[in-house]
Amino acid sequence: MKAIATWILVVAMVLTTANAVSAKGDDFNSVVRMIEQFYRVKHVGIPFLAKTGMKVGTTVARIKGGQARRIAEAGSIKLAVFEDQDFNGDFTKFRASLNEAMNATWMPLIQTLSGQDEEQVYIFLRDAGDKINVLVITIEQRDATVVQVTLSPKNLALLLKDPEGTGKAITQEATINDQE
């Protein structure tokens, strides 16, 4: 009886530690909600974006059939866009909350904050077997985007060599204007 009780206690202690670092559900949606709550803004849905002239990368990938050089794996793009809204708030507090929330499952690669333009860029990585998930969050004065993509090892090398430039390219690729 004593031995069983002891091991129950040991297992409980280990499980408590494991739970503290376990994954947190759908992080893409959590990040979108976090931005909405922190800045009191609302993101624009994809059907609305398509109507107003912006198409998501998954559509472009299907049309171009891989002719254009792509960074993200076809069909892997998740996108949320916030347009023409005020992103007023203490970005250092937002950054701290974001890092705390992402810490369990995502690896922060690079974070840049520009006081002049009030632009924040966060790039997180997550292992996805042979490939890697990348989450790029860009917040500017009036707009923001959250993009999640899957990268091949080749394109991950690009990202690691030039995190800032490739991160911007991922966001640009995910939000391609219809008029190009």
Partner 1 sequence: MKPLFHINIRTALIAALLVFAPVLSAKAQDSRIQMSSLDHLAAKASQTIDVNIDQRLMLLAAKVFDDKDEDERQIKKLITGLKGVYVKSFEFETEGQYAAADIETIRTQLRGPGWTRLVNVTSKKDGMLEVYLLFNGDAVGGMAVLHTDDKELTVVNIVGPVDVDKLAKLEGQLGIPDLGIQSPKNKTKNEQ
Nearer to partner 1, 132 or 169 (CB): 132
- Binding mask 25-64 toward partner 1 (x if CB under 8 A, else -) reads ----------------------------------------
Q: Which of 27, 70, 163, 169 is close enough to bind partner 1 by CB under 8 A?
A: 163
Q: Which of 24, 37, 48, 164 is close enough to bind partner 1 by CB under 8 A?
A: 164
**Checking DSSP bridges between strand 144-151 and strand 107-114, what pairing results, if any?**
unpaired
- Residue 71 CA to residue 158 CA, distance in Å, equals 9
Q: Which of 14, 23, 50, 68 is close enough to bind partner 1 by CB under 8 A?
A: 14
- 141 sits near partner 1 (criterion: CB under 8 A): no
**Checking DSSP bridges between strand 175-177 and strand 54-56, what pairing results, if any?**
antiparallel
Amino acid residing at 119: E
Distances (CA, A) of 23 to 11, 31, 103: 19, 14, 9
Q: Which of 63, 153, 177, 180 is close enough to bind partner 1 by CB under 8 A?
A: 153
Question: How long a stretch of residues is the chain?
Answer: 180
Q: Which of 88, 93, 96, 105 is nearest to 144 (CA)?
A: 88
- Residue 162 CA to residue 180 CA, distance in Å, equals 26
Q: How far is the CB of 47 from partner 1 (least distance, A)?
A: 36
- Binding mask 115-134 toward partner 1 (x if CB under 8 A, else -) reads xx--------x-x----x--
Q: Which of 52, 97, 114, 141 is close enough to bind partner 1 by CB under 8 A?
A: 114
Place of tokens 């006081």: 115
Nearer to partner 1, 162 or 178 (CB): 162
Q: Which of 6, 52, 88, 97 is close enough to bind partner 1 by CB under 8 A?
A: 6
Q: How far is the CB of 125 from partner 1 (least distance, A)?
A: 7
DSSP state of 142: S
The pair of three-digit structure tokens given for residue 145, joined into one six-digit string: 């985007």
Size of the site for partner 1 (CB under 8 A): 35
67-84 as b/e, with b when 16 or more CB fall inside 10 Å?
eeebbbbeebbbbbbbbe
